[in-house]
């Protein structure tokens, strides 16, 4: 495998590499991926969870107890639970979102996948995601892991980012471009 340093960097990268190597050694990459995906969803949906991981007002002990409770309630793997404990003990829970992103990059590289960030105006169906994945795979030449999200302000269409390439086919951008063009006509 290529050096992990070429894929991720910084504090979040170091923690992600450590977790990745431990999970790989324990043959638990899929389980840890599932746990991290669940944690990511919790942080997006719960204000309390975001506060727990990001607020400096909580002591180490409070953060440790909080993430231990979350891990037990969510039935996370022992490795993920211990990892969260280490983050809390080292006062690095605020980097959890970045660590999850770095772990996802490492895992995609390990699997030979390229990650595509897709933002749509409405939630895409499984069929739409499957069709998009096939088109992206043929365009990129690698398996593609899609990270889909919704931004209603796009009004319609999609934005797709694969690596440094971005395609913005959203109605919002088209309307903005039209408005700029119309100002030039006056």
Name, in order, each residue with C-beta under 8 angstroms of 8's C-beta and a sequence gap of 6 or more. Answer: 16, 17, 102, 105, 106
Query: Which pLDDT value is given to residue 114?
Result: 83
Predicted TM-score (pTM) above 0.75: no
The segments of the chain whose pLDDT lies below 50 read: 1-2
Query: Which pLDDT value is given to residue 97?
Result: 94
Q: Does CATH number 1.20.120 belong to domain 113-185?
A: no
Encoded tokens for 108: 């995609």
Q: For domain 4-108, give the CATH number.
A: 1.10.520.20
Query: Which pLDDT value is given to residue 6?
Result: 63
Residue 12 CA to chain centroid, in angstroms? Answer: 13
Domain ranges within the chain, ordered by starting residue = 4-108, 113-185
């Amino acid at each position: 495998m290529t050096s992990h340093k070429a894929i991720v960097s910084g504090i979040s990268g170091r923690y992600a590499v450590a977790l990745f190597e431990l999970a790989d050694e324990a043959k638990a990459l899929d389980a840890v991926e599932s746990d991290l995906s669940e944690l990511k969803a919790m942080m997006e949906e719960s204000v309390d969870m975001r506060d727990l991981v990001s607020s400096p007002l909580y002591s180490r002990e409070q953060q440790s107890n909080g993430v231990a409770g979350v891990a037990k309630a969510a039935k996370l793997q022992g490795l993920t639970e211990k990892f969260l404990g280490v983050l809390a003990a080292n006062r690095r829970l605020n980097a959890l979102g970045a660590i999850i992103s770095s772990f996802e990059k490492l895992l995609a590289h390990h699997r030979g996948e390229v990650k595509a960030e897709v933002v749509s105006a409405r939630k895409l169906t499984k069929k739409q995601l499957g069709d998009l994945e096939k088109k992206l795979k043929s365009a990129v030449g690698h398996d593609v892991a899609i990270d889909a999200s919704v931004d209603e302000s796009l009004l319609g269409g999609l934005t797709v980012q694969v690596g440094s390439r971005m395609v913005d086919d959203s109605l919002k951008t088209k309307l903005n471009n039209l408005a700029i063009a119309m100002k030039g006509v006056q």
